[in-house]
Amino acid sequence: MAAKERDGRRPGKLLQEPEPSGRTIGSAVNAAINQGFVIGREVMVGSIPGIVVGYNIASFGQFVGNAYPLVVRTALGVAKCGMDEVSLA
């Protein structure tokens, strides 16, 4: 019986896109900082006030850092936000 040729994948698993590089996430965080979204800054998430408490450096999951670079604390909880979702207060 011949050995089964393996290609490093498991049957039934989907191929994933390559992970976004750290440079892409770093660029998004730097762009946020350059626009004034620094830690401690008061912002508005829509009509809800909040404070920037950090930066999202996640490279996998639903809320990756290149799309949602800001971590904002509001009265409703902590959220990862995109630059188009927040404004300076």
Evaluate whether residue 45 is within a structural domain.
yes
Evaluate whether residue 14 is within a structural domain.
no
If one compares 48 and 6, the residue with the highest pLDDT of the two is 48
If you average pLDDT over residues 1-24, what whole number do you get? 58
Which structural domain, as residue segments, surrounds residue 75? 39-88
Q: What is the pLDDT of residue 44?
A: 98
For 31-88, write each residue's pLDDT tens digit.
Answer: 999 999 999 999 999 999 999 999 999 999 999 999 999 999 999 999 999 999 999 9
Positive/negative CA dihedral, 58, 59, 64, 70: positive
Q: Tokens 């992970």 — which residue?
A: 19
If you average pLDDT over residues 6-19, what whole number do you get? 56
Q: What is the pLDDT of residue 72?
A: 98
Q: What is the pLDDT of residue 23?
A: 74
User: What are the two backbone dihedrals, phi and then psi, of residue 24, each rounded to the nearest 5 degrees?
Assistant: -65, -45
> What is the domain count for the chain?
1
Q: Tokens 């930066």 — which residue?
A: 55
